[in-house]
Amino acid sequence: MTLLFINARLIDPEAGTDSLGALLVQDGTITEVLPAGTEPGQLFRARNIDTNSVEIIDCDGKCLAPGIVDIGVKVCEPGERHKESYKTAGLAAAAGGVTTIVTRPDTAPAIDSPETLEFVTRRAQADAPVHVLPMAALTKGRDGREMTEIGFLMDAGAVAFSDCDHVVSNTKVFSRALTYARSCGALVIAHPQEPLLSAGAAATSGKFAALRGLPAVSPMAERMGLDRDIALLEMTGAKYHADQITTARALPALERAKANGLDITAGTSIHHLTLNELDVADYRTFFKVKPPLRSEDDRLAVAEAVRTGLIDTISSMHTPQDEESKRLPFEEAAAGAVALETLLPAAMRLYHADLLDLPTLFRALALNPAKRLGLASGRLAAGAPADLVLFDPDMPFVMDRFQLKSKSQNTPYDGQRMQGRVLATYVTGAPVYRRD
Amino acid sequence: MSSPTSPPLSPTGFGHRHLLGIEPLKPHEITAILDLADSYVDLNRRPEKHSDALAGLTQINMFFENSTRTQASFEIAGKRLGADVMNMAMQASSIKKGETLIDTAMTLNAMHPDLLVVRHPHSGAVDLLAQKVNCAVLNAGDGRHEHPTQALLDALTIRRAKGRLHRLNIAICGDVAHSRVARSNLILLGKMENRIRLIGPPTLVPGQFAEFGAEIYDDMREGLKDVDVVMMLRLQKERMDGGFIPSEREYFHRYGLDAEKLSHAKPDAIVMHPGPMNRGVEIDGTLADDINRSVIQEQVEMGVAVRMAAMDLLAQNLRAERSATAD
């Protein structure tokens, strides 16, 4: 099967370009990036392609970019399938232009053994239309005491190891896990946070939290957690990714660690890039995320760090929660927001606000996460898999959470005006989503 | 926080459906409550203390957190105005059985109450509940957020003692961090254009309160200099997860109000406390009982009057809204 995308606005994060052109896909792989004005008939003759098995897709000047690689998606299997299953998460991902989801192990029970990992891999392969790559827990039960069978779990397909929002507070346990992970070549993804300082916090300390009377954590807790982890990386030489950097105060430490040659990368979440603490307003629990939303100054500093490349990746941090766990007083309500389907439209806010251009956004959404995981995707280049998203960056709409494909509809963007919609999503050359 | 369904042109000059906090109130609305409360002070001092302002209405007091004083005050206020008052001690009932706050609210709503008085240990819980019921909701304290009737009764006490409620120097001392009383007072007294000082150890008076326009002091004597009103706060031991102060005796030595520290304030400064007091922790027992300086008993008296006024105004709005929808 051959696909030819013509009249496409190609977003190439590797070259940093945003220009019109065409893209040839054969048997699920990108085989050629072509200049604008390529004449299909001529091309097929020159390449000796049988025109009977060809589909020509006229993109009408809309954007064609590598599909999003989303590190840190929570699918609630096993344990809470009523919140999200592999099927619904996969459909949501396809509708959001996400072609690879890297799933979190913070399920109930945690994905901490090869057997559980094999179970979820089977479920994912059977049900999800996009690539699903599982992460496994770094410690058993995510309780920070004993490391998991990192070697066996890698053999079973784990692409990274993380205790998610549980910080391994025992430094000795964490340093051993990092040392062992290094010997396996495993990537460890950690949540930089000083857990005792942030215990019980529902907001970021400041005027707003004081006014609302919410228990709050200083943004400094993130830097303290990152500082500790960086010191452990110097000790162990492990391969490390910070899941979410959300504060300006943490950035200089990250910059120094990178300059010192440590194997460290960092991500941030789309919510921290597009929302701030004031969005919580009158205790709106859909805006409760972990870590809590930050000040506007922090948001802008983090966006700038994505622009310079100091922060490598942007994730949805997709966290489905049912109505019951959100319809509670703010302090008691569960944290997290669904975001697979809103990731791209929300990211377009940064584009329309002139904070980030499209190649930079897709560097953080697709290229960098793929590179960090050693995947060939995330690029618009010959030889890369044809994981693609076709989208209109300008199309306006009002977000209606009940239209989401996720089983849970806890999105903070409900009712908001947004711009940018996915028109079609392709996974290894096969269409998995088409907007009607 | 003002309810979108609040009556736009209220006959009472108080344009809200609920009393959830001081934050949404305008200065003239605060004055309207205090003026009406003044008249209820007179009523309460008569031998026959009865009015029919709430006759035929049902008032439910839902306290998800222990309270004796506030609950009694709301109960007396409702009964004096002729309401049918019911108390529900929520910490003992359905919460233990796992019912959610919203289910509890829906259950009560089905019994058609007119006034719901709610106290809850979590900030914002009363707002959440108010969104789900058809009656008027009064916040009797939510977490560390607001305690509007306490701030109103404090304002009435100050206004009656000082003859005005503006251009006063007012010190709020002690455990500001854990106090909904401090937040509501800070907002109310700020709206009425007073100068506010917050005094306490920095662990209990976080710096971000400076952004509300208050001056922050960690030295009691310096902070009390020339103030007209000294408001002491209760040290909220039950809300502390440890380590805010080294010991109660050191706290009393440095921040407890005694005659010597009070001598730095104006000679006619009044001393207030929302109760219940920890004698010998934040306030010297003798000073608390000194009728020349302490207005703590008056505060309790004003509490009943202010709650009568607030419920009266909300009931008037409720009746106006109902007759408007009945047309």
> Which pLDDT score is estimated for B103?
87
Q: Please list, in sequence order, all residues whose beta carbon lies within 8 angstroms of the beta carbon of residue B262, skipping any fewer than 6 positions away.
A: B224, B230, B269, B271, B287, B293
Q: Looking at CA atoms only, how far is residue B91 from chain A in angstroms?
A: 16
Chain A residues lying within 8 Å of B172, measured CB to CB: none
Query: What is the full DSSP assignment across A128-164?
Result: -SSEEEE-B-SBGGGSSSSB--HHHHHHTT---EE-T
Cα separation, A83 vs A107, whole angstroms: 11
For residue A70, what are the β-bridge partners? A101
pTM for the structure as a whole: 0.91
Distance, first Cα to last Cα, chain A: 23
Say how many C-beta atoms besides its own lie within 10 A of residue A51's C-beta. 11
Give the position of tokens 């039960």: A141
Distances (CA, A) of A429 to A4, A67, A231, A334, A363: 10, 11, 43, 38, 21
Those residues of chain B whose CB sits closer than 8 Å to some CB in chain A are 1, 23, 100-102, 120, 122-125, 127-128, 142-146, 180, 183, 206, 208-209, 211-212, 241
> Which pLDDT score is estimated for B97?
62
> Which pLDDT score is estimated for B102?
86
In eight-state DSSP terms, residue A218 is -
Question: Is residue A263 within 8 Å of A312, Cβ to Cβ?
Answer: no
Top residue of A207, A208, A212 to mutate, by most chain B CBs within 10 Å, is A212
Distance, first Cα to last Cα, chain B: 28
A211 and B123 within 8 Å at the Cβ level: the answer is no
> Which pLDDT score is estimated for B236?
84
> Which pLDDT score is estimated for B89?
78
* A399-405, Cβ contacts within 8 angstroms, sequence gap of 24 or more: A399/A342, A399/A345, A404/A92, A404/A338, A404/A341, A405/A88, A405/A91, A405/A92, A405/A95, A405/A341
Give the position of tokens 């397909």: A157
B124 and A327 within 8 Å at the Cβ level: the answer is no
Cα separation, B262 vs B288, whole angstroms: 12
Each residue's pLDDT expressed in tens, for chain B with a length of 327 residues: 444 444 445 667 899 999 999 999 999 999 999 999 999 999 999 999 999 999 999 999 999 988 889 999 999 999 999 999 999 877 765 555 667 888 888 888 999 999 999 999 999 999 999 998 999 999 999 999 999 999 999 999 999 999 999 999 999 999 999 999 999 999 999 999 999 999 999 999 988 899 889 999 999 999 999 999 999 999 987 766 668 998 899 999 999 999 999 999 999 999 999 989 999 999 999 999 999 999 999 999 999 999 999 999 999 999 998 888 876
Query: Which pair of tokens denotes residue A125?
Result: 């392969």
3-state helix, strand, coil in chain B (%, to 5): 45, 15, 40
Size of interface A-B (CB pairs under 8 A): 67
A213 and B144 within 8 Å at the Cβ level: the answer is yes
Say how many C-beta atoms besides its own lie within 10 A of residue A169's C-beta. 14
* Structure confidence by residue, pLDDT tens digits, A237-294: 999 999 999 999 999 999 999 999 999 999 999 999 999 999 999 999 999 999 999 9
Q: Please list, in sequence order, all residues whose beta carbon lies within 8 angstroms of the beta carbon of residue B41, skipping any fewer than 6 positions away.
A: B156, B160, B301, B302, B305
Q: Looking at CA atoms only, how far is residue B143 from chain A in angstroms?
A: 7
Q: Looking at CA atoms only, how far is residue B122 from chain A in angstroms?
A: 6
Question: Is residue A226 within 8 Å of A250, Cβ to Cβ?
Answer: yes
> Which pLDDT score is estimated for B10?
63
Chain B residues lying within 8 Å of A213, measured CB to CB: 123-124, 142-146, 180, 183
> Which pLDDT score is estimated for B96?
58
Those residues of chain A whose CB sits closer than 8 Å to some CB in chain B are 200, 205-207, 209-215, 282-283, 324, 327-332
CA geometry: angle A32, A35, A39, nearest 5 deg: 90
A210 and B123 within 8 Å at the Cβ level: the answer is no
Cα separation, A128 vs B270, whole angstroms: 70
A212 and B241 within 8 Å at the Cβ level: the answer is no
> Which pLDDT score is estimated for B99?
74
Chain B residues lying within 8 Å of A205, measured CB to CB: 206, 208
Cross-chain CB nearest to A330 (options B102, B123, B212): B123
A213 and B145 within 8 Å at the Cβ level: the answer is yes
Instruction: Write phi, then psi, for B257 (nearest 5 degrees).
Output: -85, 125
**If you measure CA to CA, which chain B residue comes closest to A202?**
B123
**If you measure CA to CA, which chain A residue comes closest to B212?**
A207
Query: Which pair of tokens denotes residue B121?
Result: 């240990």
Cα separation, B61 vs B73, whole angstroms: 11
The stretches in chain A having pLDDT less than 50 are: none
A283 and B23 within 8 Å at the Cβ level: the answer is no
* Structure confidence by residue, pLDDT tens digits, B231-273: 999 998 776 666 899 889 999 999 999 999 999 999 999 999 9
